[in-house]
Structure 1
Amino acid sequence: MKFDTTQVNFFNGCITIPIPKYLGSALQALIAAVSKGKVLQVQITIKRKQRSLDANAYLWALLGEMARVLYTDKDELYLQMLERYGVFTHIIVKPQAVEKVKAEWKAARELGPVTINGQTGIQLQCYFGSHTYDTREFSCLLNGVIDECKGLGIDTRSDAELDSMLEEWGRKDG
Protein backbone atom coordinates (compact mmCIF):
# COMPACT_ATOMS: atom_id res chain seq x y z
CA MET A 1 0.00 0.00 0.00
CA LYS A 2 1.39 3.36 -1.01
CA PHE A 3 -0.25 6.77 -0.86
CA ASP A 4 0.62 10.45 -0.50
CA THR A 5 -0.55 12.53 2.43
CA THR A 6 0.02 15.82 4.16
CA GLN A 7 -2.01 14.79 7.21
CA VAL A 8 -0.22 13.78 10.39
CA ASN A 9 -2.14 13.75 13.67
CA PHE A 10 -1.05 13.26 17.27
CA PHE A 11 -3.21 11.18 19.61
CA ASN A 12 -2.29 9.71 23.03
CA GLY A 13 1.41 10.29 22.44
CA CYS A 14 1.35 8.58 19.04
CA ILE A 15 1.44 9.87 15.51
CA THR A 16 -1.49 8.77 13.38
CA ILE A 17 -1.74 9.01 9.62
CA PRO A 18 -5.21 8.65 8.08
CA ILE A 19 -5.41 6.07 5.30
CA PRO A 20 -7.52 7.20 2.32
CA LYS A 21 -10.89 5.50 1.80
CA TYR A 22 -9.97 4.35 -1.72
CA LEU A 23 -7.44 1.96 -0.13
CA GLY A 24 -10.16 0.23 1.90
CA SER A 25 -9.85 -3.22 0.28
CA ALA A 26 -6.07 -3.21 0.64
CA LEU A 27 -6.46 -2.14 4.26
CA GLN A 28 -8.90 -4.99 4.90
CA ALA A 29 -6.33 -7.48 3.60
CA LEU A 30 -3.74 -6.03 5.98
CA ILE A 31 -6.12 -6.22 8.93
CA ALA A 32 -6.85 -9.85 8.07
CA ALA A 33 -3.13 -10.65 7.90
CA VAL A 34 -2.50 -9.06 11.32
CA SER A 35 -5.41 -11.00 12.82
CA LYS A 36 -3.65 -14.19 11.64
CA GLY A 37 -0.45 -13.20 13.45
CA LYS A 38 1.41 -11.61 10.54
CA VAL A 39 3.60 -8.58 11.20
CA LEU A 40 3.26 -5.49 9.02
CA GLN A 41 6.26 -3.55 7.84
CA VAL A 42 5.60 0.18 7.62
CA GLN A 43 7.89 2.71 5.98
CA ILE A 44 7.20 6.42 5.95
CA THR A 45 9.38 8.68 3.83
CA ILE A 46 9.31 12.18 2.48
CA LYS A 47 8.04 12.15 -1.08
CA ARG A 48 10.71 12.97 -3.63
CA LYS A 49 10.24 14.22 -7.12
CA GLN A 50 9.99 11.37 -9.58
CA ARG A 51 12.08 11.59 -12.69
CA SER A 52 10.33 11.70 -16.01
CA LEU A 53 9.92 8.34 -17.68
CA ASP A 54 11.08 10.10 -20.85
CA ALA A 55 14.37 11.08 -19.19
CA ASN A 56 14.80 7.57 -17.79
CA ALA A 57 13.87 5.96 -21.11
CA TYR A 58 16.31 8.29 -22.87
CA LEU A 59 19.12 7.28 -20.50
CA TRP A 60 18.51 3.60 -21.29
CA ALA A 61 18.19 4.26 -25.03
CA LEU A 62 21.57 6.00 -24.98
CA LEU A 63 23.10 3.16 -22.98
CA GLY A 64 21.72 0.74 -25.57
CA GLU A 65 23.33 2.72 -28.41
CA MET A 66 26.63 2.89 -26.53
CA ALA A 67 26.50 -0.86 -25.90
CA ARG A 68 25.94 -1.49 -29.61
CA VAL A 69 28.91 0.70 -30.60
CA LEU A 70 31.18 -0.72 -27.88
CA TYR A 71 30.04 -4.35 -28.30
CA THR A 72 29.10 -4.65 -24.66
CA ASP A 73 26.06 -4.92 -22.39
CA LYS A 74 23.96 -1.85 -21.49
CA ASP A 75 23.57 -3.02 -17.88
CA GLU A 76 27.34 -3.17 -17.52
CA LEU A 77 27.60 0.31 -19.08
CA TYR A 78 25.01 1.58 -16.61
CA LEU A 79 27.24 0.49 -13.72
CA GLN A 80 30.25 2.14 -15.34
CA MET A 81 28.30 5.37 -15.82
CA LEU A 82 27.20 5.28 -12.17
CA GLU A 83 30.85 5.04 -11.17
CA ARG A 84 31.76 8.00 -13.41
CA TYR A 85 28.79 10.31 -12.90
CA GLY A 86 26.70 8.84 -10.11
CA VAL A 87 26.04 9.52 -6.46
CA PHE A 88 28.03 7.57 -3.90
CA THR A 89 28.83 7.32 -0.24
CA HIS A 90 31.80 5.93 1.62
CA ILE A 91 31.28 3.26 4.24
CA ILE A 92 33.62 1.19 6.37
CA VAL A 93 32.73 -2.45 6.99
CA LYS A 94 34.22 -5.43 8.77
CA PRO A 95 36.47 -7.41 6.43
CA GLN A 96 34.22 -10.50 6.63
CA ALA A 97 31.17 -8.46 5.54
CA VAL A 98 32.69 -6.83 2.44
CA GLU A 99 31.18 -9.16 -0.18
CA LYS A 100 27.69 -9.07 1.36
CA VAL A 101 27.72 -5.28 1.56
CA LYS A 102 28.99 -4.96 -2.02
CA ALA A 103 26.15 -7.21 -3.20
CA GLU A 104 23.59 -4.76 -1.75
CA TRP A 105 24.74 -1.80 -3.85
CA LYS A 106 24.39 -1.12 -7.59
CA ALA A 107 28.16 -0.72 -7.73
CA ALA A 108 30.81 -0.71 -5.02
CA ARG A 109 34.53 -0.22 -5.18
CA GLU A 110 36.95 -1.36 -2.46
CA LEU A 111 39.24 1.48 -1.48
CA GLY A 112 41.30 -0.52 1.00
CA PRO A 113 41.83 -1.13 4.68
CA VAL A 114 41.48 1.61 7.28
CA THR A 115 41.95 1.61 11.03
CA ILE A 116 39.59 3.55 13.27
CA ASN A 117 39.90 3.41 17.06
CA GLY A 118 42.16 0.38 16.74
CA GLN A 119 39.64 -1.54 14.61
CA THR A 120 40.48 -2.48 11.04
CA GLY A 121 37.81 -2.22 8.40
CA ILE A 122 37.55 -2.00 4.65
CA GLN A 123 36.49 1.30 3.11
CA LEU A 124 34.02 0.99 0.24
CA GLN A 125 32.80 3.59 -2.20
CA CYS A 126 29.17 2.59 -2.78
CA TYR A 127 27.04 3.94 -5.64
CA PHE A 128 23.31 4.50 -5.37
CA GLY A 129 21.05 3.37 -8.22
CA SER A 130 19.63 6.20 -10.34
CA HIS A 131 16.08 5.42 -9.16
CA THR A 132 17.03 7.18 -5.90
CA TYR A 133 18.31 10.35 -7.63
CA ASP A 134 16.73 13.76 -7.49
CA THR A 135 16.55 15.95 -10.60
CA ARG A 136 20.01 17.48 -10.16
CA GLU A 137 21.66 14.11 -9.55
CA PHE A 138 19.92 12.47 -12.51
CA SER A 139 20.86 15.45 -14.69
CA CYS A 140 24.55 14.92 -13.89
CA LEU A 141 24.28 11.21 -14.78
CA LEU A 142 22.36 11.85 -17.99
CA ASN A 143 24.66 14.67 -19.10
CA GLY A 144 27.69 12.45 -18.48
CA VAL A 145 26.18 9.69 -20.63
CA ILE A 146 25.33 12.23 -23.34
CA ASP A 147 28.93 13.48 -23.37
CA GLU A 148 30.19 9.91 -23.69
CA CYS A 149 27.76 9.30 -26.56
CA LYS A 150 28.93 12.41 -28.38
CA GLY A 151 32.51 11.19 -28.00
CA LEU A 152 31.47 7.93 -29.69
CA GLY A 153 29.70 9.74 -32.53
CA ILE A 154 26.21 8.77 -31.30
CA ASP A 155 23.49 11.31 -32.10
CA THR A 156 21.82 12.81 -29.05
CA ARG A 157 18.84 15.09 -28.53
CA SER A 158 19.29 18.83 -28.61
CA ASP A 159 19.97 20.79 -25.44
CA ALA A 160 16.46 22.24 -25.69
CA GLU A 161 14.88 18.76 -25.81
CA LEU A 162 17.00 17.64 -22.87
CA ASP A 163 16.04 20.75 -20.87
CA SER A 164 12.39 20.04 -21.63
CA MET A 165 12.66 16.44 -20.40
CA LEU A 166 14.34 17.51 -17.17
CA GLU A 167 11.86 20.36 -16.67
CA GLU A 168 9.00 17.86 -17.07
CA TRP A 169 10.69 15.66 -14.49
CA GLY A 170 10.77 18.57 -12.03
CA ARG A 171 7.03 19.27 -12.56
CA LYS A 172 5.89 15.68 -12.13
CA ASP A 173 5.88 15.98 -8.35
CA GLY A 174 4.11 19.31 -8.22
Structure 2
Amino acid sequence: MATTSRELHRVQRTFRIGRIIQGAVIALAIGALTILVGTITDVGRTIIDDWHYGRPRTTHLTGYAGLPAERSGHPSRFMALNLDRQIVIMVIPGGDTSQMQTWQGPYLFGLGEDLTPVVLSLEDADSDGLADLVVTIHQEQLVYLNRDGTFRLPTPEEWHRLAQEWGK
Protein backbone atom coordinates (compact mmCIF):
# COMPACT_ATOMS: atom_id res chain seq x y z
CA MET A 1 0.00 0.00 0.00
CA ALA A 2 1.49 3.30 -1.11
CA THR A 3 1.35 6.56 0.86
CA THR A 4 -0.28 9.39 -0.95
CA SER A 5 0.86 12.99 -0.79
CA ARG A 6 -2.41 13.91 0.94
CA GLU A 7 -1.67 11.50 3.79
CA LEU A 8 1.92 12.74 3.96
CA HIS A 9 0.69 16.37 4.31
CA ARG A 10 -1.70 15.31 7.08
CA VAL A 11 1.14 13.61 8.98
CA GLN A 12 3.41 16.64 8.59
CA ARG A 13 0.66 19.03 9.74
CA THR A 14 -0.08 16.82 12.76
CA PHE A 15 3.64 16.72 13.55
CA ARG A 16 3.90 20.56 13.36
CA ILE A 17 0.85 21.03 15.59
CA GLY A 18 2.33 18.53 18.06
CA ARG A 19 5.63 20.48 18.13
CA ILE A 20 3.79 23.77 18.70
CA ILE A 21 1.80 22.27 21.57
CA GLN A 22 4.99 20.74 23.01
CA GLY A 23 6.77 24.15 22.82
CA ALA A 24 3.83 25.89 24.49
CA VAL A 25 3.77 23.33 27.31
CA ILE A 26 7.53 23.74 27.84
CA ALA A 27 7.18 27.57 27.89
CA LEU A 28 4.35 27.36 30.44
CA ALA A 29 6.37 24.93 32.57
CA ILE A 30 9.38 27.28 32.55
CA GLY A 31 7.13 30.23 33.49
CA ALA A 32 5.52 28.28 36.32
CA LEU A 33 8.94 27.13 37.56
CA THR A 34 10.24 30.71 37.53
CA ILE A 35 7.26 31.90 39.59
CA LEU A 36 7.65 28.99 42.00
CA VAL A 37 11.38 29.61 42.53
CA GLY A 38 10.74 33.35 43.05
CA THR A 39 8.03 32.65 45.60
CA ILE A 40 10.19 30.14 47.47
CA THR A 41 13.09 32.62 47.49
CA ASP A 42 10.90 35.43 48.87
CA VAL A 43 9.40 33.21 51.55
CA GLY A 44 12.86 31.90 52.47
CA ARG A 45 14.25 35.43 52.75
CA THR A 46 11.33 36.43 54.99
CA ILE A 47 11.86 33.39 57.24
CA ILE A 48 15.59 34.13 57.56
CA ASP A 49 14.85 37.79 58.38
CA ASP A 50 12.29 36.59 60.96
CA TRP A 51 14.99 34.50 62.65
CA HIS A 52 17.57 37.28 62.50
CA TYR A 53 15.51 40.44 63.16
CA GLY A 54 12.20 39.18 64.60
CA ARG A 55 8.82 40.87 64.23
CA PRO A 56 8.67 43.81 64.37
CA ARG A 57 12.06 44.07 62.68
CA THR A 58 14.52 44.98 65.42
CA THR A 59 18.27 45.38 65.39
CA HIS A 60 20.72 46.49 68.03
CA LEU A 61 24.34 47.53 68.29
CA THR A 62 26.65 47.93 71.27
CA GLY A 63 29.63 50.22 70.93
CA TYR A 64 31.58 53.25 71.99
CA ALA A 65 30.67 56.47 70.18
CA GLY A 66 32.51 58.97 72.38
CA LEU A 67 29.38 60.01 74.29
CA PRO A 68 29.91 61.62 77.74
CA ALA A 69 27.95 58.84 79.49
CA GLU A 70 30.51 56.28 78.24
CA ARG A 71 33.13 57.71 80.62
CA SER A 72 31.80 55.22 83.17
CA GLY A 73 33.37 52.50 81.01
CA HIS A 74 30.10 51.10 79.74
CA PRO A 75 29.34 51.09 76.00
CA SER A 76 26.27 52.71 74.52
CA ARG A 77 23.36 50.64 73.24
CA PHE A 78 21.75 51.47 69.90
CA MET A 79 18.45 49.98 68.72
CA ALA A 80 16.35 50.42 65.60
CA LEU A 81 12.82 49.16 65.10
CA ASN A 82 10.63 49.03 62.03
CA LEU A 83 7.22 49.57 63.60
CA ASP A 84 4.71 49.16 60.77
CA ARG A 85 6.96 51.02 58.29
CA GLN A 86 7.95 53.76 60.78
CA ILE A 87 11.62 53.53 61.77
CA VAL A 88 12.34 54.33 65.42
CA ILE A 89 15.92 54.73 66.67
CA MET A 90 16.87 54.55 70.34
CA VAL A 91 20.19 55.23 72.04
CA ILE A 92 21.06 54.39 75.63
CA PRO A 93 24.31 56.35 76.22
CA GLY A 94 26.78 54.44 78.37
CA GLY A 95 24.03 51.96 79.29
CA ASP A 96 22.34 54.65 81.44
CA THR A 97 18.60 54.34 80.72
CA SER A 98 17.89 57.70 82.42
CA GLN A 99 19.65 59.37 79.45
CA MET A 100 17.85 57.38 76.75
CA GLN A 101 17.25 59.23 73.48
CA THR A 102 14.66 58.34 70.83
CA TRP A 103 14.28 59.61 67.25
CA GLN A 104 11.69 59.05 64.64
CA GLY A 105 13.40 57.86 61.46
CA PRO A 106 12.00 57.69 57.96
CA TYR A 107 8.65 56.22 57.03
CA LEU A 108 8.95 53.38 54.49
CA PHE A 109 6.49 53.26 51.60
CA GLY A 110 5.58 50.20 49.60
CA LEU A 111 4.30 46.67 49.84
CA GLY A 112 6.07 44.56 52.47
CA GLU A 113 8.13 47.45 53.85
CA ASP A 114 6.89 46.60 57.35
CA LEU A 115 9.27 43.61 57.10
CA THR A 116 12.32 45.58 55.94
CA PRO A 117 15.26 45.19 58.35
CA VAL A 118 17.25 48.22 59.51
CA VAL A 119 21.00 47.84 60.06
CA LEU A 120 23.03 50.07 62.39
CA SER A 121 26.75 50.78 62.34
CA LEU A 122 29.14 53.25 63.94
CA GLU A 123 31.50 55.05 61.57
CA ASP A 124 33.34 58.35 61.67
CA ALA A 125 31.50 59.74 58.65
CA ASP A 126 32.67 63.35 59.01
CA SER A 127 36.27 62.64 60.14
CA ASP A 128 35.91 64.51 63.44
CA GLY A 129 37.18 61.65 65.61
CA LEU A 130 33.73 60.71 66.94
CA ALA A 131 31.72 57.72 65.75
CA ASP A 132 28.57 58.72 63.90
CA LEU A 133 25.49 56.50 63.68
CA VAL A 134 24.86 55.10 60.19
CA VAL A 135 21.38 53.66 59.59
CA THR A 136 21.13 51.41 56.53
CA ILE A 137 17.75 50.57 55.00
CA HIS A 138 17.94 48.54 51.78
CA GLN A 139 21.02 50.05 50.13
CA GLU A 140 20.33 53.57 51.44
CA GLN A 141 22.23 55.10 54.34
CA LEU A 142 21.21 57.83 56.78
CA VAL A 143 23.99 59.42 58.80
CA TYR A 144 23.27 60.80 62.24
CA LEU A 145 26.21 63.00 63.24
CA ASN A 146 27.59 62.75 66.77
CA ARG A 147 27.34 66.30 68.16
CA ASP A 148 27.31 67.53 71.75
CA GLY A 149 26.50 64.16 73.32
CA THR A 150 23.65 63.32 70.96
CA PHE A 151 23.06 62.37 67.35
CA ARG A 152 21.34 64.48 64.70
CA LEU A 153 20.85 64.60 60.97
CA PRO A 154 23.34 66.78 59.08
CA THR A 155 22.49 70.33 58.08
CA PRO A 156 22.40 71.01 54.30
CA GLU A 157 25.95 72.43 54.46
CA GLU A 158 27.25 69.39 56.38
CA TRP A 159 25.41 67.06 54.01
CA HIS A 160 27.01 68.73 50.98
CA ARG A 161 30.50 68.41 52.53
CA LEU A 162 29.86 64.74 53.42
CA ALA A 163 28.62 63.97 49.91
CA GLN A 164 31.81 65.47 48.46
CA GLU A 165 34.04 63.50 50.86
CA TRP A 166 32.23 60.19 50.28
CA GLY A 167 32.18 60.75 46.51
CA LYS A 168 35.99 60.66 46.33
TM-score (structure 1 length as normaliser):
0.26
Which has the larger share of strand? Answer: 2
TM-score (structure 2 length as normaliser):
0.26
Which has the larger share of helix? Answer: 1
Per chain length, whose mean CA-contact separation is higher, i.e. which structure has more relative contact order (CA < 8 Å, sep 6+)?
1
Which structure has the greater CA radius of gyration?
A: 2
